[in-house]
Each structure stands twice: as C-alpha cells, then as structure tokens.
Structure 1
Amino acid sequence: MIINKSDVLNQFDDYREIISKATNLHLSLKKESKTFLRVYVLWSLSKRPELEKWLHNNYYVVSLSFLLEAFTCLMLNQTSGAQLLLRSSVENFIKFCLSTENLTIDNTRFKQNLKSLRTVYNDEKILQHISKLETIYHDLSKLSHSASSSEISIVNYIGQTLNVTELEFKNTITYIRKIIDIYLLFIFTICRESLKKWDSSDLRNTLKIGFKDNKVKSILHQLSF
C-alpha cells in the first residue's frame, strides 16, 4: 500500500485531536506538522522488513521510543520533559550504532561511547554529524539542568512548567528535527546494502513524505540509486 503525504497529514490531524484533549496550546501548526512528517518517515523506515536485520535492536527501539515520546511531550507543553527524553534517545542511539559494529558500550559514559564511535568512520560528513549530535546532547543537558527550581512553592513551580514560551517550543522542536536528520544519516549508512535491495520508487515516495525533492535526491544519490 502506497502512503502519501496527505494520508500522513490526516493522521497528524487525528494526533492533534488526541493531544488537544490534554492541552489547548499549539504554538506553530506549520512546525508541528513538518516535524510530524519527519517523525513518520523515521517510524516508517523502522517498520520495514528490509531493515529488520539492523533496526530490530533493543538500543534502537528504545531510542526511537524516547524520540516519539519527546515529540508528544512537547505537544503537551512539557519542554523540559521533552529535552530529557531527547537526551536519552541520543544516548541509546549512539549505543545502537556501536552495537552494529560489535564495539564495547560504556553504559555510564556518553563521551567514551562517542570516542569509540569516531573510530568506526573516516568519512568527514559522518564525523561532522557525530560532532553535531554531541553538541545537541550537551545543549539538551544544559537546558534540562537549568530547569531545576529554586521556588519554595511547589504550586508555583508546577505552574511555571506549563508556561511554555514560543522560543522554548521552537528550540525544542528544532532539536527534534535535527536529531531525526542525523539518525537517518546513520541509518542510511548502517543499512546501506539492505536499502539498495529496496524498490527505489517505494523508498523515494517514503522519503518525500517528510523531505523536499532536493533532499530526497541527495539521499538517493548517497545510496547510489
């Protein structure tokens, strides 16, 4: 069955209806829908039997779950919760990448895992994206740590957590999109041979749900389609 962008946007409308029962705040419909489309692409790829060999991996499943929860958390106005979930998603995604290379995983030291991951690749583009992911992780760490409250009143603190500014929302949803883009780069690299067995028109249609034509063309070129 072929899924197109309009079908997915209909699913997004259903998603918003569910979310609206919990909150009336929707700061940017355009940003929400754009991010939902990218989330859908990642989710759709993760369910493909062609990629099961690689993505049926506990670290990856946990990473994807945290990412999806972060998006929903943000829709519920909980930016701090979303940022913490994104951090956990990144941690598990790095472990996933290491596990595909049968490398030792340090369950307590993120920097050590990044160092190990850098030994795997010599492609400058991939190394740059590892650095980008490290920067995002540290940014999220700073944001989540700054969320601790010095308020004496728990009621005042809880009230503050509901006052999401447009800037906070924009920054967090931008992190989600950036993280998805980086995840996809690694998935395309790790699953390259499996993806090459996939019907190119099917893959193209899936990618076009969340990305513009020039980005899709670049991805397919990377895969030698």
Structure 2
Amino acid sequence: MKGFVLATQFLTRLPTPRVAATAHDFAASIRWFPAVGLIVGMGVAGAAWAGAWLDAWCGAQAGLVAWVAITGALHLDGLADLADASGAAHRDRARLLAVLADPHLGSFGAVALAVQVLAKLVLLHALVAQGALAGVVLVPFVARIGPLAWARWIAPLHAGLGARFAGVVRGRDLALWAVALAVAALRCPALLLAVPGIALWGGWIVTRIGGISGDGHGAGIEWNETVLLLGLCVEARLWS
C-alpha cells in the first residue's frame, strides 16, 4: 500500500501517514493514480450533492471548490504552465523549455485557467441539475488512467517529473485499469470517451510539445476530466 499512500500524498492535500520511500517508490506510485482519483471523485460528488440542497449552482460551486481543495490545484497549475509553453513553442525548443520552467503565469496560462474552471463549473451544474452526479465519482478515477498510458508510450520532454515516471508502468498495470474502466462503463458508457481522449492528448503532446512532462500529465488530466464531464452531460440528456 506504500504506492497508494505516496500517490495520495502527491495528488492530493489529504492527510496521510508518513512512509519511507525511495525515488523508485515515488515513481512507481503512478500505478495508483486512478485509485486516488476515486477518492477525489467521491469528495467532489459529495460536496456537489450537499450544495445542491440549496440549488444546482450552489452544488456546482461546492463541487468545484472541493475539486480544487482536494487536489491543491495541482493539475490546473500544469495546465497553465503548458498553455504558456505551447504559446512559445512556435519559436524553438529552448524557448518552450524555458517558459515551461518559468513559475510566473502568462496570458496563455491565465486564459486556459479561466476557461477550464468555467467549463467545469458549467458542466457540474448541468449534471447537478439533471440529477446525474453518480458518474462524477468516476471521472477523476478514469481521467488518471491517462498518465499511465502517456508515461509508457511517450518519451519524456526533459529530465523532470515526466522522466521519473518513464519506464515504471507495466503492461499489467494498464490492463488492470482498462478492465476497471470497462466495468465502470457498464454504469456510465460515456466514460469510454477516455480512450480517444487519452489518445488525442498524447498525439497533441507529441506533435506540439515533443514529449511528456509533469505539466503535460497534469494538463492531460484536466483535459480528460472536462471531456468526461461533457460526455456525462450528453449521456444524461439523451437518457432523460
């Protein structure tokens, strides 16, 4: 269970027991990312359900606040950094890497953050209003399968977090979470949108950025979550 604890410490701000770990232990904790996503999903759905006692917008806001609070805006930070770097990618690789390493927020990052937060708020509102919060529990879980695929198949962009995760994801890890996704899709078929979502993000990373990084993983999780929320909204509308 060490890997699960390390993954929880990295991906969330939830209290966890202290564990002794090596660099390899930390890297291998990526195998537990989807499991941690399930905890995030339960927190988000629970907060949205409680807020919905007032009205749908309050529920959506409560869910969004819980999402940011539990994750510490970790993936939003990656999205902003990658958006800024992508804006500089037309120059050269050195400029892209320099912007990616810059902790300051640029205009591309600010716009990406605003659009993403608004997208999640609106989509959560739609799901609360349609009484379709059950699928929200599974969204962060499914979205975090993406980093396992990207770490296994995409070369690291530089000697950073992405490089630490490279080479530790085994075929059986992906097979296990693929089966879990298939089971979850029995309840919410829209979750299968994760498969093309993961592939599209990986293709964009390779062609636009040139390799995967920690920011690429974080931004990809945000992309997956938005795609899945949209899919659940469409599914709920079709079944209503």
Quickly name the TM-score band, shorter chain normalised: 0.3 to 0.5
User: Taking structure 2 as the reference length, what is the TM-score of the superposition?
Assistant: 0.34
Higher relative contact order (CA 8 A, sep 6+): 1
TM-score of the aligned structures, taking structure 1 as reference length: 0.35
